[in-house]
A and B are shown apart, each in its own frame.
Chain A
Amino acid sequence: MEELNDDELQDLLSGDSISGNNELSEKAASDLLAYQDLFSALKTAPQTGLPLSFAANVRRTLQERINRKSDMRFNVMAVTIFMLNLALGYGLLQLISQTTADLVLNMVLKFKWLLFSVVSLFFCVLAIDQRLVKRDY
């Protein structure tokens, strides 16, 4: 028998046993046995692997990312609401008493850095708190 081609080899290797196949030439039979050994080596899983806690770690990382995203969304929303409230308050004051509104505006402008620092500090504490607090997942 001639040397086996790739497809013939594949067909024979897909079968259960090759030892009983008497029609093969000596060369083809030895090729087949070599391939059979190679196939079992190729099927062997690597010795190293992922840790047992891998799935739980992935879930925790994912949960942290989701939380960070939602915290960020919350912070942006809080800043927006704060700014809108200031604008709304000033608008209402304008309607009630223009003098008071101007007075408040002047005060705000005069202490703008102090107000800015207080507001920034508040959001910094909020952000730190969101990062440091331990949540159960």
Chain B
Amino acid sequence: MFDENEIIDRILKKDLRAFELLVKQYEKLVFFVIHRLVQDKQNKEDICQEVFIKVHHSMPSFRFQSKLSTWIARIAYLTAINYVKSNKRNSQYEYPENLDHYYFSDDNPEQVLIKKNTADYVNHLIEQMPHQYKMVLTLYHLNEFSLAEIREITGIPEGTAKSYLFRARKLLKEKIEKDLKEENTWKS
């Protein structure tokens, strides 16, 4: 079983095998965060690696004030945000300043092809959303963090995170319903 305290203790004693165990335990968590925010497929693995190297360097400052998973997710989130900011020019999508005014754009041929698989289509739609929506959806549904933990990770207040979550889900649901309706009309 993975004993956090023991692993941290061993890492602080310069045991790299223990660090490898920690990486294995949290690699999915870090990948989900990076995968959602970073569009560039090539760099995802390098960024994940950089996150874990930062985790190793910052380990002596971990004070057990939060869960280890929350602390690692915060490092991953900040690393991804920094990467996104430094590569802003390469972003395919533009978002309104007020997120309440965000809506999905119309279909392109690529979107029509992806629709056949719901999970892929939902992921494709999430990719187009502003990063606050992406992050809250990923941390809540995929990483199963609570709203309080999401506040610790992203710094977004609980109430705002909750409203982002509901609005993002509503936008996705409405978009999928609209698409289904259009598809049924087209078939008949």
- Closest CB in chain B relative to A127 CB, distance in Å: 23
* A43 and B32 alpha carbons, distance in the complex (Å): 11
Q: Which residues of A contact B173 (CB under 8 A)?
A: 31, 34-35, 38
Q: What mask results when residues 17 to 49 of chain B are scored 1 for a CB within 8 Å of chain A, else 0? A: 101110110011001100100000100010011
Within 8 A of A (CB), among B125-180: 137, 141-142, 162, 166, 169, 172-173, 176-177
Q: Which residues of A contact B12 (CB under 8 A)?
A: none
* A43 and B53 alpha carbons, distance in the complex (Å): 28
- Closest CB in chain B relative to A28 CB, distance in Å: 13
- Is the pair A44, B119 in contact by a Cβ cutoff of 8 Å? yes
B166's closest neighbor in chain A, by CB?
A: A6
- Is the pair B137, A38 in contact by a Cβ cutoff of 8 Å? no
* A39 and B21 alpha carbons, distance in the complex (Å): 31
B48's closest neighbor in chain A, by CB?
A: A50
Q: Which residues of B contact A39 (CB under 8 A)?
A: 141
Q: Which of B23, B32, B41 contacts A58, CB < 8 Å?
A: B23
- Is the pair A50, B19 in contact by a Cβ cutoff of 8 Å? no
Q: Which residues of A contact B81 (CB under 8 A)?
A: none
- Is the pair A59, B31 in contact by a Cβ cutoff of 8 Å? no
B188 at the interface (CB under 8 A from A): no
Most chain B beta-carbon contacts within 10 A, residue among A45, A50, A56: A50
Q: Is the interface of B mostly helix, strand, loop or mixed?
A: helix
Q: Is the interface of A mostly helix, strand, loop or mixed?
A: helix
- Is the pair A61, B53 in contact by a Cβ cutoff of 8 Å? yes
* A38 and B170 alpha carbons, distance in the complex (Å): 10
Q: Which of B49, B53, B122 contacts A38, CB < 8 Å?
A: B122
- Is the pair A37, B118 in contact by a Cβ cutoff of 8 Å? yes
- Closest CB in chain B relative to A34 CB, distance in Å: 5
Q: Which residues of B contact A61 (CB under 8 A)?
A: 49, 53
- Is the pair B35, A48 in contact by a Cβ cutoff of 8 Å? yes
Name the 5 nearest CB pairs between A and B, nearest first. A42-B141, A55-B23, A44-B119, A41-B122, A6-B166
- 9 of the cross-chain contacts (CB-CB < 8 Å) are A10-B166, A34-B176, A38-B169, A41-B118, A41-B122, A50-B48, A54-B45, A59-B23, A61-B53
List 13 other contacts, CB 8 Å, given A6-B166, A42-B137: A34-B176, A35-B173, A41-B118, A41-B122, A42-B122, A42-B169, A43-B142, A48-B35, A55-B21, A55-B23, A58-B52, A59-B16, A65-B53
Interface residues of A (CB under 8 A from B): 6, 10, 31, 34-35, 37-39, 41-51, 54-59, 61-63, 65, 137
Interface residues of B (CB under 8 A from A): 16-17, 19-21, 23-24, 27-28, 31-32, 35, 41, 45, 48-49, 52-53, 56, 118-123, 137, 141-142, 162, 166, 169, 172-173, 176-177
